[in-house]
């Protein structure tokens, strides 16, 4: 059975960890999406001696971006779009099912074999880009995004890794109004050697944001972080997309 910590009021930790963390910055240039995107690199690069948080702007101009789910519009799929333009999955059916070939399938999502060597369900129309050790899939309608990161982690125990991240300099010191939702060992729900979820809310320029990061040890020394982030007022609405992406992740 996995561990799950209670959610006490979060206080600023007194111990600071050295590292190469970067505080959020305002993206350069004018884009339709203006809020700074905070991406958790929940691990360590080979030359970094402590866990860090890295900031990327996944909406900078990049060549060679592609969209998931080409060839099927929301109307063609028969899904009722929400106010955001994202298709709403039927509440009477599971978010993720399996097709005849054994691949995961879900309303408004496409089973995607990424060139970086993993597969997962990606919301239709979300745009792929690569930044450093991460692959992003960015929403074409709002500031929600998926991230799959390959930065090395300091331990195979992902539950402990998340606790160390949060208790070092990854919680209240980095994110204004940080509020932990849950830190949970989910290894038993997966086929991985170790897996843990870190979910929290914080404020950016007065707007609440919500983030779920699943930290994964596939086998000893082989690490991924699968992350879904959105504005807080979109979190519940995008629940099926989030569940489909995170739970379908397959490192191949």
What's the structural domain count of the chain?
1
Query: Of 252, 249, 246, 244, which Cα lies nearest the Cα of 95?
Result: 244
More reliable by pLDDT, 242 or 34: 242
More reliable by pLDDT, 158 or 104: 158
More reliable by pLDDT, 8 or 1: 1
Asked whether 135 and 122 are in contact (CB, 8 A), the reply is: no
C-alpha to C-alpha distance for 63 and 75, rounded to whole angstroms: 29
Does pTM top 0.85 for this prediction?
no
Kindly tell me if the per-residue pLDDT of 110 is higher than 90.
yes
What would the pLDDT profile of 181-199 be if each residue is shown by its tens digit? 999 999 999 999 999 999 9
Is residue 186 one of the residues assigned to a domain? yes
What would the pLDDT profile of 57-101 be if each residue is shown by its tens digit? 333 334 344 456 543 333 333 444 445 454 444 444 446 776 667
Is residue 35 one of the residues assigned to a domain? no
More reliable by pLDDT, 130 or 175: 130
Looking at 89-98, 198-207, 240-249, which range is the least confident one? 89-98
Is residue 46 one of the residues assigned to a domain? yes
Is residue 24 one of the residues assigned to a domain? no
3-class DSSP state of 76: helix
Is residue 241 one of the residues assigned to a domain? yes
Is residue 92 one of the residues assigned to a domain? no
- What is the helix (H) or strand (E) element at residue 242, kind and residue range? helix 239-248
Tell me, what's the pLDDT at 202?
Answer: 93
212: containing domain: 40-56+102-248
Is residue 69 one of the residues assigned to a domain? no
C-alpha to C-alpha distance for 150 and 113, rounded to whole angstroms: 16
Phi, psi of 226 (to 5 degrees): -110, 120
Residue 205's CATH number:
3.40.1000.10
Is residue 240 one of the residues assigned to a domain? yes
């Amino acid at each position: 059975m996995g561990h799950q910590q209670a959610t006490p009021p979060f206080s600023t930790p007194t111990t600071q960890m050295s590292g190469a963390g970067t505080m959020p910055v305002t993206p350069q240039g004018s884009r339709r999406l203006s809020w700074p995107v905070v991406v958790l690199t929940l691990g360590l690069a080979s030359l970094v001696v402590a866990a860090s948080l890295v900031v990327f702007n996944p909406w900078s101009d990049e060549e060679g971006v592609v969209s998931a789910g080409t060839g099927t519009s929301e109307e063609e799929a028969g899904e009722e779009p929400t106010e955001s333009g994202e298709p709403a999955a039927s509440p009477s059916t599971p978010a993720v099912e399996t097709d005849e070939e054994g691949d995961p399938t879900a309303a408004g999502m496409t089973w995607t074999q990424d060139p970086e060597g993993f597969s997962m369900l990606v919301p239709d129309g979300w745009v792929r880009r690569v930044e450093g050790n991460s692959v992003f899939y960015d929403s074409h309608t709002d500031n929600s995004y998926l991230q799959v990161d390959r930065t090395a982690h300091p331990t195979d125990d992902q539950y402990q890794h998340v606790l160390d991240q949060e208790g070092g300099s990854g919680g209240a010191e980095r994110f204004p109004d940080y509020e932990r939702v849950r830190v949970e060992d989910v290894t038993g729900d997966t086929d991985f050697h170790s897996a843990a979820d870190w979910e929290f809310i914080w404020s950016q320029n007065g707007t609440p944001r919500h983030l779920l990061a699943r930290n994964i040890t596939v086998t000893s020394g082989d690490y991924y972080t699968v992350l879904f982030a959105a504005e807080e007022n979109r979190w519940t609405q995008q629940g099926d997309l989030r569940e489909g992406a995170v739970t379908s992740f397959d490192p191949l």
